Structure 1
């Protein structure tokens, strides 16, 4: 399959760990994310943000929408950088091979491209 990224929302898997799986695997039931078979340690908000983006691939999300959907606030509060900081942390944790899956749409927000 080459370097293509597979995004899978898994039911509770039979095995404890997805051995040898490549790509970014989001398991909502266990609240885990595996990157190329290695579990990524994400904070609660990092997990929620990534899961939201993965659930809606190719859709552009404004920062205000993400704050509302992930943080649960009705309006965008703060200086507007909270989402940017969390996206930067997520990209670091996804590593060089997969960080480009979260795409910045300048002056609008972000989208996930599997």
Structure 2
């Protein structure tokens, strides 16, 4: 069962009941992706919305944070984050249970 739960009120994320140890930016990134499942977000737009700064130069920091998130999700759940080649990332809605509230993905 691929159950990703994001609780923004207490800033906690878990997958299949296992709490994820996330940095502040990793949490913000997964919470943002989970809020809009299947919406493709460009690296530039993620920098603007998640990092809240105008993207300048290299946008690899987004890729690095996505790679860390995938590692922390583990091999059974890394496919939750879908790469859209040369564009950006999306949360794969086929692997996420239906939204039960604004805080759960």
TM-score (norm 1): 0.78
Name 1:83's counterpart in structure 2.
Answer: 62
Deviation of 1:76 after TM superposition, in Å, equals 1.2
Name 2:79's counterpart in structure 1.
Answer: 100
Q: Which has the higher contact order (CA 8 A, sep 6+)?
A: 2
- Secondary structure in structure 2 of the residue aligned to 1:71: coil
Alignment of 1:17-96 (within 5 A): 23-73=3-53, 75-96=54-75
Q: Specify which structure has the higher proportion of helix.
A: 2
Structure 1 stretches of 4+ with a deviation exceeding 2 A read none
Instruction: Tell me which structure has the larger Cα radius of gyration.
Output: 1
Deviation of 1:34 after TM superposition, in Å, equals 1.1
**Please, which runs of 5 or more residues in structure 2 have no aligned partner?**
97-105
TM-score (norm 2): 0.85
The count of residues paired between Structure 1 and Structure 2 equals 93
**Please, which runs of 5 or more residues in structure 1 have no aligned partner?**
6-22
